Every structure is written in C-alpha cells, then in structure tokens.
Amino acid sequence: MSRDFDVCVIGSGAGGGPVAYRLAEAGYSVVVLEKGPWLREQHFTKDELACCRRAVYTPELRDEQHVIEQADDATGWQSTPTQASGWSFWNGNCVGGSSNFMSGYFHRLKPVDFKLRSTFGPIAGANVVDWPIEYADLEPYYDRVERLVGVSGKADTHANSEPRSSSDFPFPPTLEHPISARIDQAAAQLGFHALRVPRAILSQPAMGRRGCEYSGFCGSFGCSSGAKGSSRAALLDHAVASGRCEIRAHAKVYRIASDARGRISSVDYFDHDGQSHRVDAQIYVVACQAIESSRLLLASVGPRFPDGLANNHAQVGRNLLFSGGGAGSGDLVFEDHDEAATAAMRVVGPFVNRALDDWYTLDDPQLGRAKGGIIEFLWDHPNAVVRAENAKWRDGELVWGKPLKRRLEAWFRTDRTLNFEVFNDWLPNDDCFVALDGQVRDRWDSPVARVRIGAHPQDQRVGRFLADKGELLLRQLGARRVASSVGPAPPANLQAGGCRFGSAAEDAVLDADCRAHEVENLFVSDGSFMPTGGSVPYTFTIYANSFRVADRIVAQLGGPRGSA
Amino acid sequence: MIRRSGPRSEPVEPAESFAAVRDALLSRRRFLIQSAGGTIALLFGLRSVGAAEDPDPWPTLDAVLRHLLPSEPDSPGAEEIHALDYLRFVVGDQKVSAEDRQFIVQGSQWLNQLSQQTYARAFVDLDDASRELLLRRTAASAAGENWLSTLLSYLFEALLTAPAYGGNPNGIGWRWLSYVPGFPLPGPGTRYPELPL
C-alpha cells in the first residue's frame, strides 16, 4: 500500500531532528510536522522582549496552556491553569524546538546513571529502576552528536570522567572568560576539581555554519550565527538539503489514528488557517517534548486503545521528570578588586564553562550512599530589564523617583553577579505525571495537559548539599551577598519521562529501542523515554538517544537504501 | 540561566514552598483579570467611582511616568528615554494581554478621579509634592500598587530594550547604566511584531 512518506516525525526539536537527519541520510522519505513557525538565523536577534517578555517563540497562554497541580498542605493538590499563573511550560515552539534557545551545556550521563537501582538500592516513595541499556550502548551516539551537532571542548582527565571512544572533542573549546581561571584556582584551594564544560556551540566555522560570535547573549536567545547546535541549524537544514526531508511548519498534530490491529494508520493536523490535513507513513515518531508527547498519546484513542495510544497498561504520562536542584549567586563587587581584575570581570562575550562534578555520587554521613549531581557556574543572565525589575521593590514597597535611579546605578555599575545552578536527579514518583484535563481546552478544542509536579524530598536534600558546595566556591572567590535557594518547584524547561523505556509492557511504555511495546510502528524519540534523568541538562542525551532510535528505525525498515 | 523556574517577565527566585510559588504567581494576574471588570476601583483608594471617563489618558500617564523616573542633569528620565512613545507602542501591541493594556489606561482614569476627590484638580495640575503624596496613597492600595508596578516595568523596558521599539533612543539608557547590549539588535523587519510567526 502506498504511503505519503516512509517516516512521519511529530516535533522538530532535539528528539525529532536526529531521526529526520538519519532517515533522510539512509535514503528514506521523511515528513516533519512542527506546530510552530520556521524561523531562521536572520530572524534571531538579541531581543529581551522577544526571547523573554512576550510569547513570541511560544504560544499565547490564552490559546494553549497547561493545568498545573501543586502540593498544598491544606487541600492536597491544587490545580492552577497557567493562563492564570503566567507560569508557562512551553519552551520553544518553532522549527528546531527549544534546542534553538538552549544554553548548550553538553555533559554526558555517566555509567552510574544507567543503573541507579542496582547501585544505590530502592528509595521509599520513588520509582527508581535501572535502564534497559548501558552507557556503552549510548556512547557511540554521544560521539556522533559531538561530531554532527558540533560540541566544543577539551577532554580533561578527571576523577569522574566518563569513558570516551574518541580521544578528544571534535572542536576546540569556546573562548573562556577571565573568571574561569579564578574559578579553577578557588576550586583547587578548596580541594575541588573544576571541570571544563563542553558546549554545543561551534568554536570555529564548520558544516556550513559560522563559528560563535560571542555576543554574550546565548541561553534563551535564538542563535544568529548558526554556531549553536540547534536541531534546526545542525540537523534539519541538512536533512532538507538531502531532498528527502520535508518540514511542514504550522502543523499542529491533534490525533494519531490507529486501526483495528492496533497499528497507527495516519496522523491528523491543523494548518496555520485551522484546516485539517491527514498524512500517513510506515513509521511514526513522536517527539513533542515530554509533557506534550504524553498528552498526544493520551488524546489519541483508537479501537484497540480506549485510554490512549500505547496506554493499555496505564503507563503513559507516569514518572514525569524535571531536574532537581536550585540556584545560587554571589556579587563580585568591583571595589573589592584592583583595576585589572575589575576590567577582566566586566568582559562580556566569552563563556565561563566551569562546573563541579566532585559529588556526582555521594557517601555522606547525613545522606548516606546516594546519587548526587553537578554544579554549573555562569554569569547572571545578561537580560537588563529583568535585572532592573528587582530594583523596584524594597522591603515589600515600591521604589521610584531619584531613589530608584540611585538603586539602578548601584545595581548595574558596581558589581557583577556570578551564579551557580545545581542539577541533581528528579526522582520518579507517583505524584509527578501527565493526564488530560477534564475542562480546559486549547484553541483547537483539544483537552490540555494536566501536570502534577510532586517532588520527592530526597531531591531537595541532595540539592541543598550541592548548593552549600557552590556557596563555598563563591565565597572563596571573594563574592559578597552569597545565597542560594533549593525548592520543590520544577524548572519547566527541563522535562523528561512520561513514556519510560523498559523490558516489560506492564511498567514501561517503550521497549529498549524506544518502540512502543503495544504499537509496532510507533517510536518516541524525545526525553520521554528516560526512566531516571541523571544530573545534567537533558539535551545532549536526547540527541544521542534519538540517533540510536534512528538506527533502530532504519533497521526496521530494512537497512539503508541504495547507495545511502 | 539554564533552569527556568518562574513565569515570564517577573523575576522569581526558586521558592522554598509550593504555596510561595503559587502566591507569587497568582497575585498580579488575579488583579489584572478582576480589574478588567472595573470592580476593584474602590481598592485603588477611591471613595467612590465616578461615571465620567477621562477622554485622553496620555497627559496623565506622561505626568506619572515623569514622576516615577525624573530627569536629572547627569541621567535620563522618562522624557529622555521616550517612555510615553514606548507606552503607546505597548498599548497598541497585540502581544501584550488586553487586560494589561486596559489596566494601564484605566489606572490613569482612577488616579485622576482620586486627584479630583482629594485636591479638586487633575493630576497634571498638581505640584510635585502633591503628586508624590497621591501616588504614595495609590501605592497603599493593592490595585494601585499593581498599576504603578506595571508602569515601572514598562519604564524599565523603555529604558533598556532595543531602540527599535521606540524607547532608549541611541542607547541612552544603556550608556547611563554602563550596560553592554548584545548584537545583532532587532531593527526594521526583525522586531517581534514583524517576524513570520
């Protein structure tokens, strides 16, 4: 039977891009359906309004939102639509998805992340399991991402370094800020080991993309040089150039149809004008970011799937993950330092690129033997308006007039704030999941995702342990006003889980290849597959696993075609 | 910023409890939504709500902006950063919620009514000390504080966002605060209302 395409990919971010790239490379026809517009390098500027103060790269919450369920001591769980709270869980809806706006901190998972259950044992209240694959299974794909997406770094020998098949990164490190050497020094004085952070940012032109231009405005902004390894710039542009990949922007998939045998038969989407279209393929790949991938499966009922596609064991949406941890900061006050040091601190553009992973695993009197995490150092985000916003409140009262102006002068001119962010595991638990909301619908009249965001208390204990170490380093640097905060609120941009992979359909949506146990022509290739999340940002691992899944799809289709 | 923990536009430190997160998120929006119906004018500090509408809110808004960010010999104020032009852009911008835009205009009308009730004069006709007293009284009410906080946020945008949006002419705000912007900046064709979204 003739099909429109060999493979249909829903979502064009870090989960969808590698599949489209690899399948097109292997000679198969691919269609990528992306809900958002197709913006390119020339559309991206260093615009605080566009990136961070208006819904430009994400939907208006009045059109599309989520309902968030938060723990409440009095009433159990309290639901809040995000249109009421303003707390957006969208992270980038355009071709390339949120990878356009990432900071590109590319740490690999470490071997221990694949076997937390067997290494540390069970944790009461947490659904910790080992992965069905090992680090060695994913390592070749991390290596492929480093080459194809473009990762700049230097492989230093380090106590916690994970094994590598290549001796070093394919691109030299991005330029480093003068503070980086001071962090190294401060870490050494404390007996810590500062790690040079690999970045998914080209330090030199390659693969038709320009090298980094060091604007100093990277995370939250789209890249105007093409240096950042977004799915769009690094993969989809090449896939389209092959002639075998078609990208349909403004294509909002609202249903995956399945037949009486339980196979997917087609996909329905709305275009920019609200017209419905249908497309079919041999294999379907869902990669809408974790929350939306679960939502789409739950909404896609069929004759064999009354509770949603691939959900006959009631696993879809369960064990959603965010990232545990928190953030801290300290002010490096110019008058505490000599002229040369102050001039060095004022430099804008090069990256800090330093992290601590000394406590990736813990053996601590209070915490026992446990999984830890990493501490990432970075300058305070360069956005100016958000910095000024903090100046308008003093002791709960508004400040204006000349007192406000003196405050702005002090806040902008007298110091520079160095931050750290802590990343540790968000333990999978029964109170963190995606369901369909019974009342709130999006502008296409589909039920929105209802997301319960319960966190396990262990996450905060580990986060606090790590944040205390981050504070020590800031104090060693001579920072003033050092403080940190670790809480249960999830970072909405660091999502995984919801369709975990595992060997048995009873407790996993996907098999070890990320094919649905219950649907032979369905794969999920975004971060949904992760049963535990590790203690680093997710994008690198999503990319690597998506390339692994792509190889399994090529195999299922009969191997590479022709001379490809 | 790798972790994104709060709502857009408003700085939120990672909170110690869910209740703190929820309260921080909800307070402002709840006021905006309620204010759309005009039911909280009394919370603004008014003794009663007048029926007549101020036909032109812009002179009042201009006077408030100049009071919130005054001009000084060595530093720009609302006038120099073209704050009023910028606010006109905001009030006409579909990307700003209708509630927010209505609230800006409605607040100026309430303020004028309060001024009439207190001093029997329009806000623009008050001297500097009376303006300060009236705005402090406004800030003592929940809705009034919310309105002033909203204006301050848009003042900061006029001061510190790209000149292409109408404020911050020639980067005057950036120069004052020794701030280095990122390049490329938005300009004709790349301002967000012009993107092919």
Q: Which residues contact A420 (CB under 8 A, 6 or more apart)?
A: A327, A328, A329, A375, A376, A377, A378, A467, A470, A473, A474, A484
Q: With contacts defined as CB-CB under 8 Å, which chain B residues touch A220?
A: 1, 4
State the best of B8, B87, B190 to mutate against chain A, taking most chain A CBs within 10 Å.
B8
Closest residue in chain B to residue A399, using alpha carbons only: B68
Helices vs. strands in chain A: H and E counts, helices first? 14, 24
- Partner-chain contact B16 A381, CB within 8 Å: no
Q: How far apart are CA B108 and CA B124, in angstroms?
A: 11
Look at residues A209, A133, A167 and name the one whose alpha carbon lies nearest to residue A548: A133
Task: Count other C-beta atoms under 10 Å from residue A305's C-beta.
Answer: 20
Kindly list the distances between the CA atom of residue A191 and the CA atoms of A180, A185, A188, A458, in Å, as whole numbers in the listed order. Answer: 16, 10, 5, 26
**CB within 8 Å of B74: residues ≥ 6 apart:** none
Q: Provide the pLDDT for residue B14.
A: 37
Domain count, chain B: 1
| CA distance to partner chain B, nearest, from residue A86 (Å) | 5
Contact A323 B3 (CB under 8 A): yes
Is pLDDT larger for residue B87 or for residue B48?
A: B87
**CB contact at 8 A, A92 and A98:** yes
Handedness of CA A432, A435, A439, A443 (dihedral sign): positive
A166-201: burial string, b at 16+ Cβ within 10 Å, e else: eeebbbebbebbebbebbbebbeebebebbbbbbbb
Take residue A384 and report the two structure tokens written for it: 């100016």
Task: Say if the Cβ atoms of A43 and B190 lie within 8 Å.
Answer: yes
Interchain CB distance below 8 Å, A54 and B19: no
Of B174, B159, B141, B143, which Cα lies nearest the Cα of B68? B159
Walking along chain A (564 residues) 10 residues at a time, the average pLDDT comes out as: 93 98 98 98 98 96 97 88 95 98 98 98 98 98 98 91 96 98 98 97 98 97 98 98 98 98 98 98 98 98 98 98 97 96 95 98 96 98 95 95 98 96 98 98 98 97 98 98 95 97 98 98 98 97 99 98 68
Closest CA to B91 of B18, B9, B151: B151
State mean pLDDT over B34-38: 46
Burial class (CB in 10 A: 0-12, 13-18, 19+), A261: exposed
Strands A281-286 and A522-524: parallel
Instruction: State residue B10's pLDDT score.
Output: 40
Asked if A250 contacts A126 with a C-beta cutoff of 8 angstroms, the reply is: no
pTM above 0.80, yes or no: yes
- For residue B34, the chain A residue with the least C-alpha distance is A84
Contact B162 A49 (CB under 8 A): yes
Closest by Cα among B171, B78, B69 to A406? B69
From chain A, pick out residues whose CB is under 8 angstroms from the CB of B95. Answer: 54-56
Q: Which residue has the tokens 């911008």?
A: B93
ipTM reported for the complex, 2 dp: 0.94
Answer yes or no: do A85 and B26 touch at CB < 8 A.
yes
For tokens 């430009």, the residue is: A56
Q: What is the mean pLDDT of residues B1-19?
A: 50
H/E stretch holding A102 reads none
Q: Which residues contact B53 (CB under 8 A, 6 or more apart)?
A: B109
**β-bridge partners, A325:** A423
A216: chain B residues, CB-CB within 8 Å: 180, 182
Residues in B closer than 8 angstroms to A388, CB to CB, are 156, 159-160
Chain A residues in contact with B184 by the CB 8 A cut-off are 45-46, 224
Subunit contact A376:B2, Cβ cutoff 8 A: yes
- Does B8 sit within 8 Å of A55, measured CB to CB? yes
Q: Which residues of A touch B156 (CB under 8 A)?
A: 384-385, 388-389, 392
Give the model's pLDDT for residue B12: 36
CA-closest candidate to residue A398, choices B136, B131, B15: B136
Would the CB atoms of A494 and B5 count as touching at under 8 Å?
A: no
Preferred mutation among B3, B101, B157 to probe A, highest tally of A CBs within 10 A: B3
Which among B135, B178, B185 has the least Cβ separation from residue A46? B185
Q: Which residues of B139-160 are buried (b: 16+ CB within 10 A; e: fewer)?
A: bebebbbbbbbbbbbbbbbbbb
Q: Which residue of B lies nearest to A225 if distances are taken between CA atoms?
A: B184
List, for residues B108-159, the tens digit of each pLDDT value.
999 999 999 999 999 999 999 999 999 999 999 999 999 999 999 999 999 9
Q: Which residue of B has its CA nearest to A68?
A: B22
Instruction: State whether B160 and A384 contact (CB < 8 Å).
Output: yes
| B135/A400 touch (CB, cutoff 8 Å), yes or no | yes
Give the ranges where A146-219 is alpha helix by DSSP (H). 178-190
Q: How far is A376 from chain B (nearest CA, A)?
A: 9
Distance from C-alpha of B136 to C-alpha of A164, rounded to nearest angstrom: 63
Residue of A nearest to B179 (CA): A412
Is A47 in contact with B162 (Cβ distance < 8 A)?
A: yes
The distance of Cα B94 from the centroid of its chain, to the nearest Å, equals: 16
Q: Closest to A398 (Cβ–Cβ): which among B10, B152, B174?
A: B152
Q: Is A141 helix (H, G, I), strand (E, B) or coil?
A: helix
Angle made by CA atoms B71, B72, B75, in degrees to the nearest 5: 90
Residue of A nearest to B141 (CA): A397
**Residue B170 Cα, gap to closest chain A Cα (Å):** 16
pLDDT at B6: 55
From the list B1, B72, B157, which residue is nearest A49 (CB)?
Answer: B157
CA distances from A546 to A18, A93, A123, A132, A392 (A): 6, 19, 29, 16, 45
CA separation (Å) from A557 to A91, A551, B184, B193?
32, 10, 44, 44
Cβ-defined contact of A49 to B9 (cutoff 8 Å): no
Chain B residues in contact with A84 by the CB 8 A cut-off are 26, 29-30, 33
| Residue span of the structural domain in which B183 resides | 2-194
DSSP symbol at B163: G
Task: Specify the DSSP class assigned to residue B53.
Answer: P
Picking from A186, A109, A187, A197, the residue whose alpha carbon sits closest to that of residue A425 is: A109
- Cα B31 to Cα A79: distance, rounded to the nearest angstrom: 19
Give the closest of A45, A80, A384 to B185, CB-based.
A45
